[in-house]
Amino acid sequence: MKRKSFSEMPYHLMLLPGVILVLIYSYGPMFGLVIAFQDFIPANGFKSDWIGFDNFTYIWSLPDTMNVLWNTIYISLMKIVAGLIFPILISLLLNEVNKSLVKRSVQTLIYLPHFLSWIILGGILIDILSPSEGIVNKGLQLLGIQPIFFLGNNDWFPYTVVITDLWKEFGFSTIVYLAALTSINPVLYEAAIVDGANRWRQTWHVTLPGMIPIIVLLTTLSLGNVLNAGFDQIFNLYSPQVYESGDIIDTLVYRLGLVDAQFGPATAVGLFKSVVSFVFISVSYLLAYRLANYRIF
């Protein structure tokens, strides 16, 4: 037993730099949560007056709080559903491609947007979706459709956010499902062919059942992101025109804390989100363990 523990020591040492960074940047700032219960004044530091839950009461009294909470849940749920269904369909289609060169080329093309930051993509999308000069609205005009202000219309903005996020990330998710497809025993396909199953029947009775464990796992783990609607993306795409449909918890925290200098209320909102997210993540890992036998340790 001691010999085995000694042999695993290099792996533990390899994790040490990552653990140190997590302690410094993730756990260290948690001491600042005390600001949520103070009338925080930077000049006084943590010696500011203690006001209990007044910051939380103030947040819930704001007229936009419930709308922000709804926007966050609505956008994040749409992202979760789209981010599960679309990559599965693409991976199934790619699995039917026999030419390796074509398959790898498509994989590379759909995977590339994942490496671009939302700062870059935000500028690109603002130009592409421009109601006056954007290529998308130019195409709509050729079809006889009036230009649409995708990033300035409250009816269109949430769906624009979901579609653009899907375009950026579905290639990365597709790789996970393609990896799951490689674990399916080829003998099962041969048996299906002998039984007279066509490609559709093979997909329905062999491919999809073989993907069920990874689908269940990723679905349950995604529950922890219910309150994460994507700050980087929305911050680079939204404007006061679409606060009604695009303002989320993270952007509210940004405006309260860094724009309005209301550090106490901003920390209170962040703490609320962290507690709720912790509950969802705990539940998702429990479900992943029960349904997919997934465990961290």
Supply the DSSP string of 158-187, one letter for each residue.
HHHHHHHHHHHHHHHHHHHHHHHHHTS-HH
HSE-CB at 220 with a 13 A cutoff on CA atoms is 20
> Taking the domains of the chain in order of start, what are their residue ranges?
47-171+218-292
Average pLDDT per consecutive 10 residues, the chain (297 residues; last block may be shorter): 62 87 88 88 84 90 91 92 90 84 85 89 91 88 89 92 92 85 84 84 85 81 81 91 91 90 90 86 79 64
Range list of β-strands (E), the chain = 38-39, 49-50
Q: What is the pLDDT of residue 297?
A: 55
State phi, psi for 104 to the nearest 5 degrees: -70, -35
How many Cα atoms sit within 13 Å of 27 on the Cβ side?
A: 7
Token pair of 217 as six digits: 């796992």
CA distance 143 to 126: 21
Amino acid 5: pLDDT: 56
Which residues, in sequence order, are CB contacts of 100 under 8 Å at separation 6+? none
First to last CA, the chain: 18
- The fold of the 47-171+218-292 domain, in CATH, is MetI-like fold (1.10.3720)
Q: Are 283 and 223 in contact (CB under 8 A)?
A: yes
Q: Are the C-beta atoms of 84 and 215 separated by less than 8 Å?
A: yes
The pLDDT of residue 1 is 47
Q: How many C-beta atoms surround the C-beta of residue 194 within 10 A?
A: 8
